Each structure stands twice: as C-alpha cells, then as structure tokens.
Structure 1
Amino acid sequence: MTQPVIAPDHIPADLYDVIAALCRTSIDVAAIIAKGPLGQSLGNLVGENSDGDGQKALDVLCDEMFTAALTRENVRWYASEEQETVNSLNENGKYALAIDPLDGSSNIDVNVSIGTIFSIFEAKDDAEASFLRPASEQVCGGYVVYGPQTALVVTFGAGTQMYVLDPDTKVFILVEEKMTIAPTSKEFAINASNYRHWVQPVRAYVDNCLAGKDGPHGKDYNMRWVGSLVAETHRILSRGGIFLYPSDARKGYENGRLRMIYECAPIAFVIEQAGGRATDGETPILERQVDTLHGRVPLVFGSAEKVTRVAEHHNMPAV
C-alpha cells in the first residue's frame, strides 16, 4: 500500500483526497523550485495572464501540474489565476477549487519563499457562480509555502492547522493543530514607495507607526516587505504583525492589486481562523464578494488589534 502523503487525522474525509492531491503536487513543485538555476529557466517571462500581469515559466507549469492532479479528484470546477475562465474537471465533483498556482513568482530568481494559495467552495451547477459568492462560504482555504521548509497551512473552518513536509518520508506531518496569531506586534508590512498614492487613513496609520514610541502607538516599529503574499502571511501567522495592500490613486490600483478569489479570500479565512482579522481596510473580507473571476479588493490582515486600528482610521473625519 502506498504511504499517504498527508496523515488523514484532522482533515474532513470528503476533502482528504483533494488536499492529498494538492500536497502531492506541491512536493513536485518544491523539488522543481529547489533546483533553481540547475533546472530549466523558470523565471523567464513566457506571456501575460488575463489581467496583463507577466507570467513566468513556473507559473504556467504549476498551473498545468495542479490541473492534471485535480482532474482525478472530487473537483467539479477549477479556477486559476493563470486562466481567464473556469475549467470543468469532474462533472460529478462536489467542490469548486480556486488557486494561485505560484504566488510570488517574481521572487523565483532571488531564492525568497514563494507559495501556492487555494480556496475551496461547494460547487454549484453554474461554474462562475461557484466562486462569485461571499468569502464566508468557503469550506477550506490555505496555502503551501516553499521556503526553508515546505509547509501546508490550512483551515476547514475550525481553526488553522500547519503541516510540515518531512523531506525523508515525503509526508506532511501535523505540527500545529491550532495556530494563533499574536494579538499585537511591532512589525508592519507595506510597500512604502507608494506612500504618495495612498488614501489618507492608510497614510495616517503608517505615520503613527513611523512616529514610534513618541507617537500614539507608544512603541517603535520595524517595517517588512517581501513582495510574496505567502511569505508575508507565514511570518504574521508565526509572530504577529499587520500586512497592508490598500487601494491607491494609481490607474488599475483603485481596488488594490490582490485578487479576491485566488488570494484575499483564502488568506482571510486562514487568518481569521487563527484569531486575527482581515479586512479591505474597513469591511471584513469574509463578508465581501466580487462580480468577476479576477476581481480585486484591498487587503489588510494580521493581529486583530492592528487591523482594528486601521479600520478606526477609516472612520475618522477627514482633516
């Protein structure tokens, strides 16, 4: 009998095969990434996705790998950040799965942690309607991070779990059954080069962080910015903090740049199940939905106290 790639404990039985397929494929993806320049030129641009973002060779390869693996599983509809429309995989499948096959691919060539993000809903008869719904209707959300360790972080709506890949046995082992985000932290993550484009509430919050112990927060802060959503999320889950990708005044950034279905919804689900908060600056992400497959929303997530402060800045009168 073939050894399971992930122990079945703590995973709903009807989702186990889908998660196992994601895990098997992620092991193959991790092996490809680990070869770096010893393998093929995975960082080369090979085209653009439906939103005009550059696609790298590994983006496309990963999408093909996950599609092939999930075709054999209980997945009726497959929506990928790398594709314009929804694919039908198994007409009898119970689930609709959305995926960002390789988040942070711009960091492939500089050896920074990157990942795979996924979201699962119960399928409807209409393909797009299976995804264009409130994020709170997810039955599963999570990501795989490819870094010093390959790890799966996932929620089924009853807490956030972390599994780490044992490189000897090729099995994902549960290491944290109930992840909990630190309620507060001295770190914040934002691309400060866009300061001049931000809305006033975001500027005000960051100004207060930069004021350090002499400001209203009463403590000094460190700023972080990796440019890989999975890496940012994993750090915040591990030690707290806040991540901000707000809307801003640039053309095409009116709703931020992160896609609701493939990135924001699953990350919000994971974060909230670990005791954090995730909003668009004001409204919880889990209360939101978009009307297109590649619709974008602003994203602010992390330690609950910090995310609440950002929302409070949005509710203050303009000055």
Structure 2
Amino acid sequence: MPGHYMMLDDFLLRTLEGQRDEAGAYRLRTVLGEIALAVRAIAAMIERVMLDGSMGAGGDAGLNLEAAARELMVALCERSACVAGYAAAGAGAMRATAAVAGASGVSGVSERGGYLLAFEALDGAAQIAENGVAGSVFSVREAACESTEELTQDAAWLRGGAAQWAAAYALYGPSTLLVLTLGRGTYGFTLDRSSGTFVLTHRAMCVPDEGPELAIDGAREHAWEPPVLRYVRECRAGSAGEREREFSLRFGGCAVADVHRILTRGGVGIVPREPREALGASGLALMHAAQPLALLVEQAGGAASTGRARVLELLPGALDERTGIVLGSKSEVARLERYHREYERGVDRPFNSPLFNERSLFRPEACA
C-alpha cells in the first residue's frame, strides 16, 4: 500500500483532534472503527453467500441476509465498550447494551460516555441474489442520559437529526465503500480487501449544483402527491419541456445506491410521502436512514427536505417513524419545495367545475 494513502484510523485521529475532549474523541473513534469492522464483515458475508448460496434463493435470500446483517450489528453493539444503546430498523425497539444494562446508576452511561447507534443493517438486500447493489446506513448520537433506565425511554432517542455526531453509509458493489461525515464535510473510503483496511479515496465530496439524475420508484406514481408528480413530469419532458434539458430517470431499489450516485453526479433522489397510506407509514425510516443520509448530503453541499421542512430539523414522534424525503442538489430540492408551497396555496391546482368537470371552459388547459 503506497505510503501517501490515508487510512480511516488516521483520518479519524486527525479530524477529531480538538473537536472533542480526548476521552470523547477516543470513544467516537472507537464506535466508527467498529462500524467499519461491521461493514467489512457484512461485505465478506455477501461474497460468501454469492459463492455457496447458503442464504437460499430469490426473496428468501434477501430476507435471510438482512436478518443476518442485523444480528451481526447487534452483536457488535453488545460487545462494544462505547455503544450504550442501539436501535435497528425493523426491530421495533431501542435497547441498552448488556454492559450498560448491567450497570447501576449514573456510572452506566455518563461516566462511560457511550453513544447511541441507529442503523439499517442492509438496505436493498433482495437485490443481492441478482448480484445487485446493497447498502447499510448508520447514525451516531451521544447518549445524553443521566441513568441507565433512560436509555430505553423515548426521550433519549427522539431528538432532531442535528444531534448526530456522525453518520455513515456503506455501499456493497464491485468495491465496498464507506462514506462518512463527522459534521465537517463528507468523505469516502474504499475497502482494500488485501489488507482489510479502508483507504480515503473520495476527499471532501461535493454534490454538483446541477445533475442529470432523478431517482424515484416510477411504479408508485399512482400514489405520488401532486407536487412530486408535477416535478417528475417536467423532468420526463426533457429538453422539449419547461426544464429545457435532459434527465436520466433511475431507480436502483436501494436508497444508499441512489444517494451515492447523486453525491457523485448531482441531481435529486425522491422517496415520496404517500398520503393514501397512514401518516408516517411511507418513505424512509426517519432516524435509521433519512436523517443520517440527510446529514451526509448536506455536508457535501446538498440539501435534504420533506418538501415542507428540513429533514434534520424533524423531531421524531416514534422510533419507527418514516418520512418522505427529497435530497440532492440544492437547486432541485428548492424547486420541489416551491412546488409543495404552490400546491398548498392552491396556485397550481386546476379548477374543478362541479357542473362541467372535465369539459369546463374554466379549466386552465382549456384557456391555454
């Protein structure tokens, strides 16, 4: 390995110097190092499954892989001296680690200075059977608790996304990437399989101001809100429409892969809220995925919004709450926010005549 390459450990050491006290920096560095170990283990597990088919086939393989990745992450959290509690997407509950749960009083949390780790262990697991791309998402928050009992109470967890000390995602593809932010820029590290180390390969990632990418699940068009429908139709019209340029519509079935493509190429990714479903039942898991991805994109110069509010300013009402999200280039996110405002003011709503309905002469398209 050439000596001028920077390893993840060296990057964390330099970046955290002066940002936190020595003990706090050590604990955060330890947690992030353990996340890197988990990513390496999940990558190895995926490769092994592709060789021996031990997880089954098709959809069963995806479900089994997702469960195995979650168990791996839980085991890591339970062993860690610096993780006080964890919450896995799909598990439905937050848990204090065994070391903290077995402690008493304040010493179990405050003196240990532990962190809370929320994660989605394997996003896009169903695609692995097709040799597709999958990912993991991690959110690190400080355990601001006065007693061990508080770790399993909502107040310890349900805080805004700005309370994150770090966020990361892993992308499992031709190479394994770990993309990380400590609140001062977004950086990418590639796994060197020969040495088992992560090497800094993407310095100060920056979302381009404009990009050709639009990532959205077109099969759900029937459930989109009108502002999203308006935006997507404009993009589909390409250079012949209002946008006067071409867009590439993609959907990878893995939010991490879509976000990574937008980080490198620009554009926007949309996971819409679906009003026909119960509130909070559609979109991305707010704490486990939406807020860590939002922090990564914002630190790379992009934006992340629900169309109505900044994602990092949302206060979760429940651990498993979900949210619609729009993230990517600032100009594209701002356009979608404007479309939501205009829709809610009724500016872009067509006139519906109760008498003539579709044949009304007062509909905007009839007046054109």
Distance change (3 Å), C-alpha of 1:191 and 1:253: farther
1:215 and 1:74 map into 2 onto residues whose CA distance is: 54
2:222 counterpart letter in structure 1 = R
Aligned to 1:50: none
Asked if 1:265 corresponds to 2:291, the answer is yes
CA separation in 1, counterparts of 2:47 and 2:7? 19
For 1:64, the equivalent position in structure 2 comes to: 71
* Equivalent-residue separation in structure 1 for 2:124 and 2:323 (angstroms): 18
8 Å CA contact 1:43–1:105 kept in 2: the answer is no
Corresponding letter in the other structure for 1:7: D
Does the 8 Å contact 1:121/1:130 carry over to 2? no
Q: 1:43 to 1:105 in 2, by over 3 A?
A: farther
Q: Mark the runs of 5 or more structure 1 residues left unpaired by the alignment.
A: 47-53
> Matched residues in 1 for 2:283 and 2:135: separation?
17
Q: Which moved more, 1:169-178 or 1:149-158?
A: 169-178
> Which residue of 31, 45, 48 maps to 1:18?
31
Residue 143, structure 1, aligned to residue 169, structure 2: yes
Query: Is 1:79 the equivalent of 2:87?
Result: yes
Given the superposition, is the C-alpha separation of residues 45 and 308 from structure 1 closer, same or farther in structure 2, using an over 3 Å criterion?
same
Map of 1:277 onto structure 2 = 303
1:157 and 1:226 map into 2 onto residues whose CA distance is 27
Distance 2:9 2:223 in 1: 47
Judge conservation of contact 2:213–2:265 (CA < 8 Å) in 1: no
Q: Which residue of 2 aligns with 1:30?
A: 43
User: In the aligned structure 2, how far is the partner of 1:40 from the partner of 1:75?
Assistant: 31
* Aligned counterpart in structure 2 of residue 41 of structure 1, from 24, 48, 55: 55
Counterpart-to-counterpart distance in 1, 2:300 and 2:93:
32
Pairing of 1:186-201 with structure 2 (within 5 A) = 186-201=212-227
Partner Cα separation in structure 2 for residue 284 and residue 31 of structure 1: 36
Match of 2:107 in 1: none
Conserved? CA contact 1:73–1:93, under 8 Å: no
Q: Decide whether aligned partners of structure 1 residues 205 and 276 sit closer, same or farther in structure 2, where only a CA change above 3 A counts.
A: same
TM-score, normalised relative to structure 2: 0.79
Q: Alignment partner for residue 110 of structure 1, among 118, 122, 130?
A: 130
**Letter paired with 2:316:** V
C-alpha change, 1:43 and 1:233, in structure 2 (3 Å) is farther
Decide which structure has greater helix share: 2
From 112, 118, 124, give the equivalent of 1:98. 118
Q: Is the 8 A contact 1:122 1:130 kept in 2?
A: no
Aligned pairs (5 A) from 1:164-183: 164-183=190-209
Percent identity between the two aligned chains: 30
TM-score, normalised to structure 1, is: 0.91
TM-aligned CA distance change 1:99 to 1:5, over 3 Å: farther
- In the TM superposition, what are the counterparts of 1:106-255 in structure 2 within 5 Å? 106-125=126-145, 126-127=150-151, 128-252=154-278
In the alignment, structure 2 segments of 5+ residues that lack a partner are: 1-5, 17-24, 101-111, 350-368
Structure 1 position 113, deviation (Å): 1.1
Structure number with greater Rg is 2
Change (3 A) 1:45 1:287: same
